[in-house]
A and B are shown apart, each in its own frame.
Chain A
Amino acid sequence: MDSVLRAENISKSFGPIEVLSGISLDLRPGEVLAVIGENGAGKSTLMRILSGHLPPTKGSLHLNGQPITFSGPVDAEAHGIVLVHQEILLAPDLTVAQNLFLGREIRRFGFVDDKSMRERTRAILHELGTNIDPDREVSRLSIADRQLVQIARALLVPHTVVAFDEPTAVLTPIEAESLFEIIRKLRSQGVAVLYISHRLNEVKAVADRVTVLRDGRHIATRDIEGLEPLEMARLMVGRDMSKLYPEKPETASDQVVLTVRDMAVPGYVENASFTLRRGEILGFGGLIGAGRTELFEGIVGLRPGQGTVTLDDRNVHFRDAREAMAAGIVYLSEDRKGKGLLLQQNLRINLSLAALDKFGRGSFIDKGAEEKALDQAIKDFDIRTRSRDLLAGQLSGGNQQKLLLAKMMLLEPRIVIIDEPTRGVDIGTKEQIYRFIASLAAEGKAVVVISSEMQELIGLCHRVVVMRNGRVAGEVAQADLSEDAIVYLATGVHEERAAEIAAGHA
């Protein structure tokens, strides 16, 4: 056993909730170990423990056979373990070189030595196969280039273990393919790579071994040889995948309730047109940054936008969310914590906020009615909370999403727009949310689901509109729904072709 990093029986609890229990894995030099699992399976938590961001509640870590505890990420880095974060954590106004050396500037006579930092930056970026200008400000880089800068920053310190946390979430297939090249290069240098993802095709392409987590438990560790994506999915979900999605309600009608023509949201969306029908679930697919969120925020008046929006044969223009709500349209933000719920307030205040007018008694709020509505919401939406007085921020991601759904449903909308309905939501809750979305359509409401999970769009929606670079790239009808069809519209490239093109570029 020549493992470089070994975890033994790692458990992690937050308060009474155990998010990881008894996880063991070992990582050998010169291999890529993929850790896969659904959202909420505990992948990121495990990663944060391995890279010193979190201490385990139970269990131990061993580095080169010696037991070790990390006092923090800096300590872990000093031992050669670096984590490439899922989110971009760079200072946008600093240059590439300044970001790379932020907090570890090269000094000469007490002053920063820009020249040698620039040289080192150029060298490292070249090694990664890119020619990003070290003097360019990060805010002017594309998302993919920022990702590369972030990787370069992680690789700047001497490393024996590199962990990538969902690195391809913001990348096109071509960009992802060049990332895989980088990972293969690291592997050939004898570096141990941890690769976290729930995109199984990627895992198949890049990993040597796969560890599957489900609900915070270790399910299996297998060699990639002979392990097909379908089997991975079964291990991840623990049951037949097809049961995750409810039957699509047969209520999709021809009755158009909302027509959007030539919608433009400055800086994000141009010329977007689509129609939404009564009783249907309309999916919106595309890469992150394709303008889907901005399009709908423009429609409901949360951003300035121009275009013709027709609601039941009547042209409307909403100046703020209040007007859209009054017309029966609600938008549930993808950013639950930042835009959906008041994390520092309790459930009752969150629940009634959007529909406060319904709880009026004269000019005063009827707290009794609010409490009653909360009881109802906890029951209807199965919000699991140990106490009614909990703050919204203390709920799990899935329960926050249920609370947000309950809050917006109090408005009794006719059109419901849900942005990334299952982001950060555990698998059990996912199923509940899918069933709820289907029941909305079955009741005759029109539902828009914006999602970056292609399986979700395919499993849930009647039709899928795909956006690319701020424009509507096309529409996929129910009969033609497939991952390849969506990827093709989202990127302009077929999935298999993406690898070939990237190979040509490299």
Chain B
Amino acid sequence: MTETVLPTRAEKRKFKMDMRALSPFIALIVLIIAGALINPDFLTASNLLNVVTRSAFIAIIAVGATFVIAGGGLDLSVGSMAALTAGVMILTLNNLGGGDVGTLAIGLLAAIALGAACGLANGLIVTFGRIEPFIVTLGTMGIFRSLVIWLAAGGTITMRNFELRELYRPVYFGNIFGIPYPIIAFLVVAAIGALILYRTSFGRHVVALGSNEDVARYSGVPIWRVRTLTYVIQGICVGIAVLVYVPRLGSATPTTGLLWELQAITAVVIGGTALKGGIGRVWGTVVGAVILELVANIMVLSNFVSEFLVGAVQGAIIIIAMLVQRSVHRGR
């Protein structure tokens, strides 16, 4: 009577599922080939390492965003949260005044704790206030952003202690066996993220929640806790990204982290995570973040499009990625 059997053959579906998982990797290879054809300098180790290093903060933030989005949520506040966290971290370091490792450690912990706290705030408002995450994080995006402007009094927050700057600098510029620390940081974050999402009950609960909240609830999944925790994970990821970002310039300004939410969400979508939740792809997200940075890099190396239009291109990419995702999805 109401019997519905989807008219899809298993082999066909499997191929399409694989397409969804593979497409970011295919796009990456296509981009690398395109880049190599456009400019011979592109395919050098130093350029590629530089690209991946630059993509590190977005990649780390996007790993967190993968959790939020796979769980059926959305966090628009990550860019502002990163700016606020960076600002507060530098102010903390300046106030402590020391130039030793201990001071630095306190600053780093403060950044992570603040990120987690911001995420917790987002999560609690979304779950207990029962408000659309789009609205909640739009609101906190404004709050975090203006807090950093206020703290900086409209100007720049700079690390004042020269010794501390020298001590901290290698975290972005240093390397181990030729691999820059930011790349190591983002690989570690992605590996931990993948482990949590794919191998733990919590990860399974995130996917169930994003697939169908009612089913999760009727199955006894603690949905409030799971949902709140996805935002906390997002906050911690923002904190870690800030740790890698601050030594690059040693300062935070009102424009720090501008449009990072766009880049993070784009990376997640390119990576094959379903924007309506239920499918999370951590490694796809990482590739997505690298793709975004590659596109920017190719734009700089070529003369086709002004590099000032990077944001426009990234905006176009997310729209195209959604169209592709839907056409892949329709076959299922």
Residues of chain A within 8 A of B154, CB atoms compared: none
Query: In the complex, are the beta carbons of B199 and A333 less than 8 A apart?
Result: no
B201 to chain A, nearest CB (A): 5
B69 to chain A, nearest CB (A): 15
> Within 8 Å of chain B (Cβ to Cβ): is A55?
no
Query: In the complex, are the beta carbons of A340 and B6 less than 8 A apart?
Result: no
Complex Cα–Cα for A110 and B285 (A)? 50
Residues of chain A within 8 A of B332, CB atoms compared: 344, 391
Contacts A19-B3, A44-B1, A349-B204 given: A302-B217 contact, CB under 8 Å?
Answer: yes
Contacts A344-B211, A344-B278, A353-B219 given: A15-B1 contact, CB under 8 Å?
Answer: no
Residues of chain B within 8 A of A423, CB atoms compared: 2
Complex Cα–Cα for A394 and B199 (A)? 25
Contacts A320-B220, A389-B14, A394-B8 given: A338-B214 contact, CB under 8 Å?
Answer: yes
> Within 8 Å of chain B (Cβ to Cβ): is A345?
yes
Contacts A40-B1, A356-B201 given: A345-B217 contact, CB under 8 Å?
Answer: no
Query: In the complex, are the beta carbons of A40 and B3 less than 8 A apart?
Result: yes
How many interface residues does B have (CB within 8 Å)? 34
Query: In the complex, are the beta carbons of B215 and A342 less than 8 A apart?
Result: yes
Question: Closest residue of chain B to A324, judged by CB?
Answer: B220
Complex Cα–Cα for A324 and B218 (A)? 11
Most buried by A among B3, B199, B208, B222: B3
Query: In the complex, are the beta carbons of A325 and B220 less than 8 A apart?
Result: yes
Complex Cα–Cα for A344 and B221 (A)? 17
Question: Closest residue of chain B to A349, judged by CB?
Answer: B204
Complex Cα–Cα for A213 and B128 (A)? 51
Query: In the complex, are the beta carbons of B199 and A343 less than 8 A apart?
Result: no
* CB proximity to B under 8 Å, residues A339-360: 339-345, 349, 352-354, 356-357, 359-360
Query: In the complex, are the beta carbons of B2 and A389 less than 8 A apart?
Result: no
A296 to chain B, nearest CB (A): 12
Chain A: interface size category: 35 or more
Query: In the complex, are the beta carbons of B212 and A342 less than 8 A apart?
Result: yes
Query: In the complex, are the beta carbons of B211 and A390 less than 8 A apart?
Result: no
Contacts A339-B214, A343-B212, A365-B201 given: A397-B219 contact, CB under 8 Å?
Answer: no
Query: In the complex, are the beta carbons of A363 and B200 less than 8 A apart?
Result: yes
> Within 8 Å of chain A (Cβ to Cβ): is B129?
no
Residues of chain B within 8 A of A360, CB atoms compared: 201
Query: In the complex, are the beta carbons of B2 and A345 less than 8 A apart?
Result: no
Complex Cα–Cα for A325 and B217 (A)? 12
Question: Closest residue of chain A to B11, judged by CB?
Answer: A387
Residues of chain B within 8 A of A352, CB atoms compared: 204
Question: Closest residue of chain B to A343, judged by CB?
Answer: B212
> Within 8 Å of chain A (Cβ to Cβ): is B281?
no
Complex Cα–Cα for A364 and B201 (A)? 7
Query: In the complex, are the beta carbons of A389 and B10 less than 8 A apart?
Result: yes
B158 to chain A, nearest CB (A): 42
Give per-residue flags for B35-50: 1 if the beta carbon is below 8 A from chain A beta carbons, else 0: 0000000000000000
Query: In the complex, are the beta carbons of B217 and A321 less than 8 A apart?
Result: yes
> Within 8 Å of chain B (Cβ to Cβ): is A195?
no
Complex Cα–Cα for A311 and B201 (A)? 29
Residues of chain A within 8 A of B176, CB atoms compared: none
Give per-residue flags for A356-379: 1 if the beta carbon is below 8 A from chain B beta carbons, else 0: 110110011100000000000000
Contacts A320-B222, A322-B220, A365-B201 given: A17-B5 contact, CB under 8 Å?
Answer: yes
> Within 8 Å of chain A (Cβ to Cβ): is B102?
no
Query: In the complex, are the beta carbons of A43 and B204 less than 8 A apart?
Result: no
Query: In the complex, are the beta carbons of A341 and B215 less than 8 A apart?
Result: yes
Complex Cα–Cα for A302 and B214 (A)? 10
Complex Cα–Cα for A352 and B207 (A)? 13
B275 to chain A, nearest CB (A): 14
Residues of chain A within 8 A of B195, CB atoms compared: 364
> Within 8 Å of chain B (Cβ to Cβ): is A259?
no
Query: In the complex, are the beta carbons of A342 and B208 less than 8 A apart?
Result: yes
Question: Closest residue of chain B to A385, judged by CB?
Answer: B10
Question: Closest residue of chain B to A165, judged by CB?
Answer: B1
Sorted from nearest, which 7 A-B pairs have the closest CB atoms?
A: A322-B220, A354-B219, A424-B2, A15-B7, A14-B5, A342-B211, A321-B220
